[in-house]
């Protein structure tokens, strides 16, 4: 009996491998990207940095610091002199308003990792070696010396001055949403094949 | 203590069988299939998928009525822009409520229900149009299917069950 089940599982695996083509994998990775980006923009992050599907829970992103709130409102800006731990940060009142993304608000107090929106917009979903992948490219950030990857790492890990804001990955309940979506798409495809 | 909700849609398979066929012979034969775990799984899952499809893609409730459009204030909200939503109501923001639908079977019945208190509460709000303590909205009873659809899915499922086309229940 155990042998029968083993064969059945192998058959099912082969069947699904044939069924889930590149187009479907693209759809699944795009759905993963969408869940992660929309959730982050709505102000929720993960309980810990995992970089994978599952293994964490949803957690509101930490509040923005008072000074950063003023920066977002165009009431304060900084420039730095020098680099490293000896650098001097000089505040000033800017003459123009910063260009915030339309997917955030200048007066919001909770972080949604969106200022220009460039970091979250840069996240891409693709298929490589028959696997769906969601990744942050190593491109430069338009308003920073850091690359998108470096900026994401900094946000995920935090520093002694910046609270960590893990966001890259899916929480357990999001993994369930994704799983249910994938299963339903596969069932729909099987049904279409039966009807042919 | 917060009230807990558990909105469900119950299907009596013997009633569906009765309304699906006129012939007593067919009914007798079918009765021996419909109590099997595999048939109930196949049929229950197809009912769930059809409820999701009607809500998300056709934007209609269990009676076939339109789910309506979103209020101006919701359309103007940040969350609406973030999730890139369009006007017809599809009861989908994160997608969690509809993805939590599942089918549980008894001897000759199937119950469609939601998983998780949060999703049950959301569904209850949509069905009754009561959101929180004072909020009111259009009633959007998405949890169910018209008899005609139940019968059509039932006949298709019975045919596929007899033909051994059961791969989808293994997914």
Angle, helices B24-34 vs B37-53, to 10°: value is: 100
Strand order across the B101-105 sheet: B9-12, B109-114, B101-105
Cβ contact, residue pair A38, B82, below 8 Å: yes
Q: Which residues from chain B sit within 8 angstroms of residue A38, using beta carbons?
A: 82-84, 94
**Separation in Å, CA of A147 to nearest CA in chain B:** 24
In 10 A of CB B56, how many CB atoms? 16
For range A65-92, the mean pLDDT? 89
Distance in angstroms (rounded) separating the CA atoms of residues B87 and B68 = 9
Distance in angstroms (rounded) separating the CA atoms of residues A132 and A177 = 17
Cβ contact, residue pair B168, A190, below 8 Å: yes
- Residue B66's φ and ψ, nearest 5 degrees, are -60, 145
Quick check: A2 pLDDT over 90? no
- Residue in A12, A35, A188 nearest the CB of B49: A188
pLDDT given at position B143: 98
Cβ contact, residue pair A186, B82, below 8 Å: no
The CA–CA distances, whole Å, from A149 to A31, A115, A163, B162 equal 21, 16, 18, 54
pLDDT given at position A1: 43
Residue among B115, B134, B29, B160 at smallest CA distance from A180: B115
- Residue in A180, A188, A191 nearest the CB of B99: A180
The predicted complex's ipTM stands at 0.89
> What's this model's pTM, rounded to 2 decimal places?
0.89
Residues of B with CB under 8 A from a CB of A: 45-46, 49, 52, 78-79, 81-84, 94-96, 99-100, 116, 160, 165, 167-168, 170-171
**Separation in Å, CA of A144 to nearest CA in chain B:** 24
- Residue B15's φ and ψ, nearest 5 degrees, are -65, -40
pLDDT tens for each residue of A163-196: 999 999 999 999 999 999 999 999 999 888 877 7
Mean residue pLDDT across chain B: 92
Distance in angstroms (rounded) separating the CA atoms of residues B150 and B47 = 7
Mean pLDDT, consecutive 10-residue stretches, chain B (171 aa), reads 84 97 93 93 97 97 94 91 89 95 96 96 94 82 97 95 84 79
A-B contacts (CB, under 8 Å) = 53
Q: Which residues from chain A sit within 8 angstroms of residue B96, using beta carbons?
A: 173, 176-177
pLDDT given at position A9: 74
pLDDT given at position B25: 93
- Residue in A41, A181, A187 nearest the CB of B82: A41
Q: Which residues from chain B sit within 8 angstroms of residue A12, using beta carbons?
A: 167, 170
Q: Which residues from chain B sit within 8 angstroms of residue A176, using beta carbons?
A: 96, 99-100
Q: Which residues from chain A sit within 8 angstroms of residue B84, using beta carbons?
A: 38
pLDDT tens for each residue of A107-119: 888 999 999 999 9
Quick check: A3 pLDDT over 80? no
pLDDT given at position B2: 63
Q: Which residues from chain B sit within 8 angstroms of residue A184, using beta carbons?
A: 49, 52
Cβ contact, residue pair A180, B100, below 8 Å: yes
- Residue in A8, A104, A186 nearest the CB of B171: A186
């Amino acid at each position: 009996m155990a042998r029968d089940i083993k064969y059945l599982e192998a058959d099912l695996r082969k069947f699904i491998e044939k069924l889930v083509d590149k187009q479907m994998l693209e759809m699944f990775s795009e759905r993963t990207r969408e869940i992660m980006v929309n959730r982050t923009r709505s102000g929720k992050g993960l309980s810990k940095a995992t970089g994978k599907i599952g293994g964490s829970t949803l957690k509101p992103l930490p509040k923005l610091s008072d000074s950063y709130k003023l920066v977002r409102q165009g009431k304060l800006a900084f420039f730095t002199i020098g680099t490293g731990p000896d650098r001097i940060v000089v505040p000033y009142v800017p003459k123009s308003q910063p260009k915030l993304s339309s997917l955030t608000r200048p007066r919001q107090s909770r972080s949604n990792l969106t200022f220009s929106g460039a970091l979250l917009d840069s996240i891409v979903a693709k298929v490589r070696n028959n696997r769906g992948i969601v990744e942050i490219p190593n491109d430069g950030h338009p308003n920073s010396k850091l690359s998108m990857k470096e900026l994401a790492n900094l946000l995920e890990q935090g520093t002694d001055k910046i609270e960590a804001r893990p966001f890259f990955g899916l929480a357990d309940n999001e993994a369930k949403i994704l799983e249910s979506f994938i299963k339903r798409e596969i069932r729909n495809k099987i049904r279409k094949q039966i009807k042919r | 203590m917060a009230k807990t909700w558990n909105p469900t849609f119950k299907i009596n398979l013997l009633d569906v069988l009765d309304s699906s066929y006129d012939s007593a012979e067919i009914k007798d034969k079918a009765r021996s299939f419909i109590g099997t775990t595999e048939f109930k799984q196949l049929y229950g899952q197809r009912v769930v998928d059809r409820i999701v499809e009607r809500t998300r893609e056709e934007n209609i409730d269990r009676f076939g009525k339109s789910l309506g459009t979103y209020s101006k204030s919701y359309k103007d909200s940040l969350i609406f822009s973030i999730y890139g939503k369009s006007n017809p109501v599809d009861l989908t923001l994160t997608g969690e409520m509809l993805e939590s639908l599942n089918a549980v079977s008894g001897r000759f019945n199937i119950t469609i229900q939601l998983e998780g208190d949060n999703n049950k509460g959301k569904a209850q709000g949509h069905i009754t149009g009561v959101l929180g303590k004072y909020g009111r909205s259009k009633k959007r009873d998405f949890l169910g299917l018209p008899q005609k659809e139940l019968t059509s899915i039932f006949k298709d499922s019975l045919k596929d069950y007899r033909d051994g086309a059961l791969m989808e229940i293994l997914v």
